[in-house]
């Protein structure tokens, strides 16, 4: 037999692997490196990459940290995030230095997981607007600029979390806006916009005027189960390290403005998609009536028209030349919803101005809308609620009214047709408004520059070397 001698390079490589692996040999890493000093399980950012489907299948069926709710409309994933844990007490982020509060101690289980407390839901706009919108043209509830500010802040908070800066997002959400779980809120009327007076730029101006702040984060450096120490040894004392994190509100506001401009540019294109989908509704409705395709086997109506808006949006964003903002599809759904609500408000205001407030069309649409506003337009919404509203309206049976001494016909199809036509006008007006967003930011940029100059002059006056 012939003896095979391996090349010298292979022998050196095998020896090197044995030295690295010790007595057990070299074991190739099967998971991404986890920092030993962190005490927080940082959600799917550490354990699961959104693109890694193989890891997703291996996830445990009942994770220690449960989802915030059912389906998360913002698209953050099925597991709670690092920001969720920091806010709910699972992480050890202390309050700012200028506030008298002790460091938060994380409540951990025996296996090292952290118990998650339910997060407070974000407050929505109060219901008073349902009567106020008829009294004047200033309708802050359906102002697209307010929705743009809200979604910009939510998108910016998501980007902070992705960049491993949940503490700045926590400051924005809890210390400044004083709202609930804003990042998972899928709605058009967040309550903080109303608290800031219903003006799109009020929250940003107020953020610019805030002084710099500091958050102290305590992280376990050594202890049972951390830093290579045994978690079953009761004699090992835990050691903590405090990390100061600076919060610069003017800088945060400046970055939110940049996100706001990007989303506005996207909405200029997305409003064209909205108009295109809007124009298909009535044709689809009458086509289904002729073909009987919208009814079940028992003859009951299932859908009044085919839903095309989401498909058009998916096709457009998938083949876009530039990268979209984090929540573009969610933004489109809310844009579609708010446009429908704004169209209804315009129709009712016009009828009241022209003296038709006692007519059957006005009374029917007003009552139909106000009775269903909480379900289709307020609070945390499911996807497609705008189409659901029009669908229910189209499937409502006509009826007669004998109010005010005369008989009139309630025509639900006619009401839906007027909303669809008005929605196109609203979308076109909003498109022109989005083109001027950068010009609208002139006042905010002036406030930023003034704040920066003020901070610079204060720093120079307190520095003896600079004074000399």
pLDDT higher than threshold 60 for residue 353: yes
Report yes or no: 180 and 120 within 8 Å, Cβ to Cβ: yes
Mean pLDDT is lowest, of 49-63, 75-89, 164-178, 447-461, for: 49-63
Asked if 179 contacts 190 with a C-beta cutoff of 8 angstroms, the reply is: yes
Averaged pLDDT, 83-90: 51
* Statement: residue 35 has pLDDT above 80: no
Residues 6+ apart with CB under 8 A from 362: 348, 351, 352, 356
102 confidence band (pLDDT: 50, 70, 90): very low
CB 267 within 8 A of CB 335: yes
Mean pLDDT of 291-307: 71
At 151-199, the pLDDT tens digits run: 999 999 999 999 989 999 999 999 999 888 898 899 998 989 999 998 9
pLDDT confidence band for 100 (50 / 70 / 90): very low
In this prediction, residue 57 has a pLDDT band, given cuts at 50, 70 and 90, of very low
365, 368, 339: which is closest to 281 by C-alpha?
A: 339
Record the pTM: 0.72
> What pLDDT is stored for residue 232 in this prediction?
75
Instruction: Please name the helix (run of DSSP H) or strand (run of DSSP E) that holds residue 283, with its range, or none.
Output: helix 281-291
As a dihedral over the C-alpha atoms of residue 266, residue 268, residue 269, residue 272, rounded to 10 degrees, the angle is 140
Average pLDDT over residues 46-72: 35
Angle at 436 between CA 432 and CA 437, to 5 degrees: 120
Q: What is the mean pLDDT of residues 108-116?
A: 39
Give the list of residues 6+ apart from residue 330 with CB closer than 8 angstroms, or none: 73, 74, 75, 186, 383
pLDDT tens for residues 401-440? 766 667 777 889 999 999 999 999 999 999 999 999 999 9
Q: How many CB atoms lie within 10 A of CB 369?
A: 22
Q: Which residues sit opposite 96 in a β-bridge? A: 215
pLDDT tens for 373-389 read 999 999 999 999 999 99
Which of 19-33, 120-134, 362-376 has the weakest average pLDDT? 19-33
Q: Is the pLDDT of residue 310 over 60?
A: yes
Secondary structure (DSSP) of 409-462:
EE-HHHHHHHHHHHHHHHHHHHHHHHHTHHHHTHHHHHHHHHHHHHHHHHHHHT
pLDDT at 4: 52
Distance CA(445)–CA(438), nearest Å, equals: 10
Q: What's the mean pLDDT in 261-272?
A: 94
Q: Exposed/middle/buried for 377, CB within 10 Å: 0-12, 13-18, 19+? A: buried
Higher-pLDDT residue of 23 and 201 is 201
Q: What does the pLDDT read at residue 441? A: 95
Question: How much is the average pLDDT of 344-364?
Answer: 88
pLDDT for position 243 = 87
Distance CA 375, CA 270 (A): 25
- 39 — pLDDT class (breaks 50, 70, 90): very low
119 has pLDDT over 70: no
Residue 71 φ/ψ, nearest 5 degrees: -85, 125
Give the DSSP per-residue string, 332-370. Answer: HHHHHHHHHHHHHHHHHHHHHHTT-TTSHHHHHHHHHHH
pLDDT number for residue 8? 56
- How confident is the model over 227-241, as pLDDT tens digits? 666 777 777 777 778
What are 349's two structure tokens?
């205001």
């Amino acid at each position: 037999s012939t003896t095979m001698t391996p090349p010298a390079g292979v022998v050196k490589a095998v020896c090197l692997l044995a030295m690295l692996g010790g007595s057990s040999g070299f074991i190739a890493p099967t998971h991404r490196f986890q920092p030993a000093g962190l005490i927080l399980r940082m959600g799917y950012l550490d354990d699961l990459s959104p693109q890694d489907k193989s890891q997703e299948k291996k996830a445990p069926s009942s994770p220690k940290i449960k989802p915030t709710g059912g389906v998360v409309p913002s698209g953050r994933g099925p597991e709670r995030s690092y920001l969720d844990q920091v806010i709910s007490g699972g992480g050890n982020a202390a309050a700012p230095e200028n506030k008298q509060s002790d460091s938060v101690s994380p409540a951990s289980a025996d296996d090292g997981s952290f118990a998650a407390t339910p997060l407070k839901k974000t407050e929505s706009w109060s219901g008073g607007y349902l009567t106020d919108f008829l009294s004047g043209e200033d309708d802050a509830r359906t102002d697209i600029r307010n929705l743009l500010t809200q979604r910009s802040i939510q998108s910016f908070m998501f980007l902070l979390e992705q960049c491993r800066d949940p503490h700045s997002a926590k400051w924005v959400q809890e210390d400044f806006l004083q709202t609930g779980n804003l990042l998972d809120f899928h709605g058009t009327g967040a309550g903080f916009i109303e608290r800031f007076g219903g003006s799109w730029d009020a929250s940003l101006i107020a953020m610019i005027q805030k002084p710099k702040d500091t958050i102290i984060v305590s992280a376990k450096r050594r202890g049972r189960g951390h830093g290579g120490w045994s978690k079953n040894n009761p004699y090992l004392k835990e050691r903590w390290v405090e990390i100061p994190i600076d919060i610069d509100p003017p800088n945060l506001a400046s970055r939110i403005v940049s996100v706001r401009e990007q989303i506005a540019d996207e909405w200029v294109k997305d409003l064209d998609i909205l108009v295109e989908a809007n124009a298909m509704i009535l044709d689809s409705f009458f086509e289904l009536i002729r073909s009987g395709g919208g009814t079940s086997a028992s003859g009951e109506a299932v859908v009044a028209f085919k839903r095309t808006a989401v498909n058009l949006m998916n096709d457009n964003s998938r083949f876009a030349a530039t990268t979209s903002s984090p929540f573009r599809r969610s933004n489109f759904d809310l844009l579609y919803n708010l446009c429908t609500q704004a169209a209804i408000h315009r129709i009712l205001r016009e009828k009241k101005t022209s003296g038709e407030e006692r007519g059957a069309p006005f009374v029917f649409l007003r009552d139909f809308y106000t009775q269903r506003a909480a379900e289709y337009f307020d609070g945390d919404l499911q996807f497609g609620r705008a189409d659901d509203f029009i669908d229910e309206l189209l499937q409502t049976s006509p009826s007669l009214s004998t109010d005010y001494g005369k008989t009139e016909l309630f025509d639900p199809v006619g009401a839906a047709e007027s909303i669809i036509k008005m929605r196109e006008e609203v979308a076109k007006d909003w498109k022109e408004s989005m083109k001027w967003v950068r010009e609208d930011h002139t006042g905010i940029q002036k406030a930023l520059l003034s704040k920066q100059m003020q901070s610079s002059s204060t720093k120079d006056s307190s520095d003896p070397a600079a004074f000399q």
